[in-house]
Amino acid sequence: MVRETKTLGEGIPATADPTKLPNVKNIANHDSTRQITDLELADIVEKVACQSNSHLFYHKMQTLLGRDVANTLDTKGNRLEQPRSKTFYHMIMTYRGRKQFGLLEVGEVVKMLHSINMSKIAEKIEP
- What does the pLDDT look like over 47-100, one tens digit per residue? 999 999 999 999 999 999 999 999 999 999 989 999 999 999 999 999 999 988
Residue 19 resides in a domain: no
Write out the residue range of the structural domain in which residue 52 sits: 32-123
Does residue 62 sit within a domain? yes
Please say if the pLDDT value at position 32 is more than 90: no
Closest CA to 64 of 97, 37, 31: 97
Specify the CATH number for the domain of residue 37. 1.10.533
11 inside domain: no
Residue 24 in any domain: the answer is: no
Structural domain count, the chain: 1
